[in-house]
Amino acid sequence: MTIAIAPLIAILKEYKRRQDARRRFVRTQRTIDGLPKELRKDMGWPDRYLEQCRKGE
């Protein structure tokens, strides 16, 4: 029985890890989007961020 439960627990942990990462990403994006446009431009948001995503950094 334990052998059958272990893979399920691993799958659930991975799902939770991905959900937590997604929540952090959304929270960060909302925070940055709430900043004044001039400050976001100085930071390079979203242009620099999108470039990094395309490169896989």
10 vs 54 pLDDT, higher one: 10
Q: What is the pLDDT of residues 3-35, one digit of tens each?
A: 788 899 999 999 999 999 999 989 988 998 899
Q: What is the pLDDT of residues 33-42, one digit of tens each?
A: 899 989 988 8
Domain, as residue range, for 48: 2-55
Say how many domains are in the chain. Answer: 1
**What pLDDT band is residue 49 in, cutting at 50, 70 and 90?**
confident
In the prediction, which pLDDT does 57 show?
Answer: 56
Which DSSP helix (H) or strand (E) runs through 1?
none
